[in-house]
Structure 1
Amino acid sequence: MNGPNDALEVLKQTSRTFYIPIVQLPGDLREAVTSAYLCMRAIDEIEDHPHLENATKAQLLRSLSLKLQTGTGDHDDFSPNWGDSYADLPDVTLRVSEWANLAPHSIAPRIWDATAAMADRMAMWADRNWTVNTVEDLNSYTFSVAGAVGLLLSDLWAWHDNTQTSRLDAIGFGRGLQTVNILRNHQEDKARGVDFFPEGWTAIQMQAYARHNLEFAERYTKSLPKGPALDFCRIPLVLAQGTLKTLALGKPKLSRDDVMQLIAPFVNP
């Protein structure tokens, strides 16, 4: 098993948005958040895989969920039987057992529980081919894959230094970031036969939904005291807000220069 430094290298390869705020966290919190992010990324790669059948995705996600529910803290093996899918899965997914074992023992079970629950929800959405017909469907999906992550982050802040936050605002934090991703990836999702827009909605309605949830996210961030939680949350929030403004102007995404300008005030020299 490789250590935290290797996990951070994998993190750097998989996330432009979250690598910088995670590496700035203090030691034990950095390990916990890295564990949580990579576990979630591992199952996300299954959900978004371009070649696996939906039934295969659902089976893998449920198998992984069951493995995570067996954790004892004794260097558990959380890897399910990948079967014929092994060669098609990325490294970050195949190494999920390493990520799950990375977190400090006192918070690891919460990360296992959150990842297992999300894997089960993703499996359900794979079964229904991510069909979103109503606003209620959209609320359900964005909670399943992101709002629940906001709740997990709040638990991590409380575990580390007893930082208390509004759980409703935490859900909005996750939902807002996810909705911006939906907008950014809309054409790509449609090309693979998936549309997260409720029936009759255009980008205008989805942008309004994103702005509404980003208001919760901003309130959530402003409620955090100075410290690692605030430092972590400000970067993805400002990038989501910047991306939403860019999309509203008809541009596909932020440029690299735009990203660097937005995050410069929050990056430690």
Structure 2
Amino acid sequence: MDLRNDALEILKETSRTFYIPIVRLPRCLQEGVASAYLCMRAIDEVEDHPTLDVESKAKILRKISLTLQAGVDGFVADAFADSFYGYEDILPEVTLRIREWSILAPETIAPRIWDATAAMSERMAYWAERNWRIDNEADLDRYTFGVAGAVGLMLSDLWSWFDGTKTNRTHAIGFGRGLQAVNIVRNHNEDFSRGVNFMPSGWDASAIQAYARRNLILADAYTQSLPKGPALDFCQIPLALAYGTLDAIALGKEKLSRSDVAALLEQVSSSSES
């Protein structure tokens, strides 16, 4: 199996939200977006690891960041070995194979992905050392920018690189922030059970849901400004699922069911064809 097909298989195993929009992209863009997603999923699995202590998480994340910053025309086979030394048996496959994901993207855009992943990995290390303490809304904005708003900016760079599509960068940040805020809403109980609370002091469920919806308004503006084409096709799907998740939680569900997801995807497909 070649690297691209292997990457798509790993992607399918790790994200039902992003596999579908990525697999529909034109091949060149698909490789860039899949590379970015898997590199960031690799470090996300370190940040969220259920048994690693925060000091180990910060150490691994900083070593990954420094390795990515040293990239020139790719990475030698054992470039990331030092990052994972002693942790090879507990880190997931998607993390241990970050070198492969980093070289999946076309060489004309790969360094942008290395840069974005390195910066995010460093920010994740900072938040791990703080034990993800969110004191106020400014902290929440910093966190959601660091791990998701910056992804919106990178996606804008990918669209521009592929076909010259122009985007509003402020709205791009809102797109990433909004999706991340929905994740916080959806995963709050699970996060809390492992001792992490991403909600600012004094906030309740309604406050974090309102925060998510404020940012999704920017995500709407971002998506609605996109011309017909692969960027629009990609962005519509996670945005529809984000709104659907908030609506499901408002009705007392924990998350979207598979049938809910299928119905939303059908709705998105129908609207994009009309």
Shorter-normalised TM range: over 0.9
Q: Secondary structure at the match of 1:88?
A: coil
Gapped regions of structure 1 (runs ≥ 5): none
Aligned twin of 2:203: 201
Q: Over aligned residue pairs, what C-alpha RMSD do you find?
A: 1.4
Aligned twin of 1:79: 80
- Distance of 1:266 and 1:8 partners within structure 2: 22
- CA deviation string 1:59-86 (max 9, x = no partner): 0000000000111114544414112111
- Distance of 1:34 and 1:122 partners within structure 2: 21
- Distance of 1:122 and 1:75 partners within structure 2: 22
Aligned twin of 1:244: 246
| Percent identity (aligned) | 62
- Distance of 2:156 and 2:149 partners within structure 1: 11
- Distance of 2:208 and 2:267 partners within structure 1: 29
Q: Secondary structure at the match of 1:253?
A: coil
Q: Aligned letter for 1:83?
A: Y
TM-score (norm 2): 0.96
Aligned twin of 2:37: 37
Counterparts of residues 1-269 of structure 1 (less than 5 Å): 2-77=2-77, 78-81=79-82, 82-267=84-269
Shift of 1:161: 0.4
- Distance of 1:75 and 1:135 partners within structure 2: 38
TM-score (norm 1): 0.97
- CA deviation string 1:129-173 (max 9, x = no partner): 000010001000000110000000000000000000000000000
- Distance of 1:166 and 1:258 partners within structure 2: 31
Q: Aligned letter for 1:30?
A: Q
Q: Are the aligned partners of 2:240 and 2:268 in contact in 1 as well (CA < 8 Å)? A: no
Q: Aligned letter for 1:91?
A: E
Q: Aligned letter for 1:56?
A: S
Q: Are the aligned partners of 2:69 and 2:114 in contact in 1 as well (CA < 8 Å)? A: yes
Q: Aligned letter for 1:118?
A: M
Q: Aligned letter for 2:170?
A: L
Shift of 1:181: 0.4
